[in-house]
Amino acid sequence: MWSTTPRRMGLLLALLGLLSACNDKPQHPPPATASNAVPTDLALARLYDTSCKLCHANPASGAPLTGDSQAWAPRVAQGADTLLDHTLNGYHGMPPMGLCMQCSEEQFLGLISFMAGVHIQ
């Protein structure tokens, strides 16, 4: 009889844990944001998806989010040369080359322009 008590207790604790995760508020899908966007240029879209999106569409990463003009504004104000330098050499949490070793400077500027929502030259 004692052997079933710990098992029942474990099942009860598991059930309570599952129930505590329940919420009586209706769940709605998150609103569509610019972080769901992709470049219209197919080649840039592939590069964005494989190299940029992991961080620039993830609020937890700390990277400026795609389409967040407020977060990008101070970066854009530094100019294309600085943005390109930070992309090529890395900056704070940004890895060198943005993990896109095959990207050209022109492609980087196109990707930055897309994410920032402004044309960068």
Q: Tell me the H-state helices in the chain.
A: 4-20, 42-47, 53-56, 69-77, 80-89, 105-116
DSSP label at residue 95: P
Three-state helix/strand/coil letters over 35-54: HHCCCCCHHHHHHHHHHHHH
Q: What residue numbers bound the domain in which 57 lies?
A: 1-121
Round to whole Å and give the CA distance between 27 and 10: 29
Q: Is the dihedral of CA 120, 43, 94, 69 positive or negative?
A: positive
Cβ(27)–Cβ(17) below 8 Å? no
Check residue 36 and give its pLDDT.
Answer: 74
17-40 pLDDT per residue, tens: 555 545 555 444 443 445 578 899
> What is the pTM (predicted TM-score) of this model?
0.70
The total domain count for the chain is 1
Check residue 102 and give its pLDDT.
Answer: 95
Q: Specify the length of the chain in residues.
A: 121
CATH assignment of the domain containing 5: 1.10.760.10
Q: Residues of the chain whose pLDDT is less than 70? A: 1-4, 6, 9-35
